[in-house]
Amino acid sequence: MGHPWQHALSSAKKFGGKPEDYLFLHDWFDGSKEYFPDFRHRALRHQSLGIYEAEALFGPYVKTSSGREVPVRVIGEQHCIEDLGFVPTVADWLRRLALRPWMTRGWEKETTEEHAFSLARETAKRFGGRLEDYLEVHRWFDRTKAHFHAPQHRALRHHAQGVLEAEARFGPALRNADGEEVPVGKVAELHLVLELGRIPTVTDWLAGIKPADWMLKGVDKRVVSLSLLDLVKEER
């Protein structure tokens, strides 16, 4: 289907109300295309975790102009099915992501229970306060490994866009135990640098996804050919 407006028209037909009642939600699902403008952008939100994240962000239901309360999860499932034919899991996407050396940096440490405390302790050394002030931000970045226990899980949040998402989730600043306001963006950037040695872009991650047939539903094959040139160059 492709475009948020088309999805919104479909939602109005299925659930009642006006397309405008649903457009913001479909815009959010496709908003990742802003950071990686081909079909692989869907790896970030077009999956079961993305549906639950939409519910956490927008609430349990959308109230239409006709007064009906439509579950956000149902609308998210509709979006994924119309684009891909089913609702994939995080693993369906990430098992197709070829690893590069920088993506696996520090993975062995990340699998230990101490890891988040170690990152928070380093953050407190740099910005003051106690490790507890920063612990939840570090845990949030690494929580996606519960959905895919391999370094590829980092593709969901360990990038510049993930820094912005952390700010949206935790606010612009954290007040630490010393009473100082520490920008969440700085804490998030430090997390990426400590784990990966860099702040990657969404493109750095998603360009390594090798397509499967289900990813290409409704995608212009000419666009696919151009999009995959970077994969060919990488393999060479």
Instruction: Report the C-alpha gap between 92 and 196 in whole angstroms.
Output: 23
Task: Find the helix packing angle between 184-196 and 115-127, rounded to 10°.
Answer: 130
Of 108, 105, 45, the C-alpha closest to 77 is 45
Give the pLDDT score at 217.
Answer: 85
pLDDT, one tens digit for every residue, the chain (236 residues): 679 999 999 999 999 999 999 999 999 999 999 999 999 999 999 999 999 999 999 999 999 999 999 999 999 999 999 999 999 999 999 999 999 999 999 999 998 889 999 999 999 999 999 999 999 999 999 999 999 999 999 999 999 999 999 999 999 999 999 999 999 999 999 999 999 999 999 999 999 999 999 999 877 766 665 555 555 455 44
Give the pLDDT score at 1.
Answer: 67
> What HEC string does the chain produce?
CCCHHHHHHHHHHHHCCCCHHHHHHHHHHHHHHHCCCCHHHHHHCCCHHHHHHHHHHHCCEEECCCCCEEEHHHHHHHHHHHHHCCCCCHHHHHCCECCCHHHHCCHHHHCCCCHHHHHHHHHHHHHCCCHHHCHHHHHHHHHHHHCCCCHHHHHHCCCHHHHHHHHHHHCCEEECCCCCEEEHHHHHHHHHHHHHCCCCCHHHHHCCECCCHHHHCCCCHHHHHHHCHHHHHHHC
Give the pLDDT score at 84.
Answer: 96
Give the pLDDT score at 147.
Answer: 96
Give the pLDDT score at 232.
Answer: 44
